[in-house]
Amino acid sequence: MMKDAGVWERKKQVIGMKNIILIGFMGTGKTVIGRVLARQNGFAFVDTDKEVEDIMGMNICQIFRKHGERRFRSEEALAVKKLAKREGVVVATGGGVMMNEENAAILKENGFVVLLTAAPELLHERISRKNTRPLLGKNCSYEDMMKLLHEREAIYASYADLTVDTGELGVEEAVAAILAAYQSANEARAEG
């Protein structure tokens, strides 16, 4: 892999990319970058967490408290199946979406998968500012965050077509890098 200004690009051809899928740990900027990316690319924007909230009529913390993580993950999987059938969508996934192999395969089948990362210290700072993270929350310890991050990072990397460090790049720079890689991959696919 090649690293340049916060961007790592996989050396493989990506096939069948009608959507852009943003994956990664909480606090990496999937929603913020996803909105800008969708607007600049003329795509619709969908956040899987928001989809589940809309379906269930409550926020994620309420879902976890009232119904538990298992129910949330079930609703999340249904939302992923529905979204994967669409085209021309930027999908910001919840941090745990790719832990389900079926979710990952469905999203990967029709999408260019972009892993957003950031230094653990920056992630902890970002996560600690919000009280909407049911698995860690506002008072999360750095150790708890690192444990969850270590459980997930290899899985995220295994599905990524492109990795972008949002601690090194601003939103506009990250969006430009993603769009360039997405367009390049689609051109290679059309030629191949």
Cβ atoms of 84 and 15 closer than 8 Å = no
Where b means 16+ CB within 10 Å and e means fewer, 163-179 reads bbbbbbbeeeebbbbbe
pLDDT in tens, the chain (192 residues): 444 555 544 433 333 458 999 999 988 999 999 999 999 988 999 999 999 999 999 988 888 889 988 999 999 999 999 988 898 999 999 888 999 999 999 999 889 999 999 999 999 888 877 655 555 555 678 888 899 899 999 999 999 999 999 999 999 999 999 999 998 888 877 675
Q: How big is the CA angle at 28 (ends 22 and 31), to the nearest 5 degrees? A: 55
**Beta pairing partners, 122:** none
Rounded to whole angstroms, the Cα distance separating 113 from 122 reads 22
What's this model's pTM, rounded to 2 decimal places? Answer: 0.85
Q: Are 44 and 89 in contact (CB under 8 A)?
A: yes
159 and 173 in contact (C-beta within 8 Å)?
A: no
Instruction: Give residue 178's domain range.
Output: 2-191
Q: Which of 58, 56, 104 is nearest to 80 (CA)?
A: 104
Distances (CA, A) of 168 to 5, 53, 152, 171: 7, 31, 21, 10
* Residues 134-154: b if buried by 16+ CB within 10 A, e if exposed: bbbeeebeeeebeebbeebee
Q: What's the CATH code of the domain at 95?
A: 3.40.50.300
**How many structural domains is the chain composed of?**
1
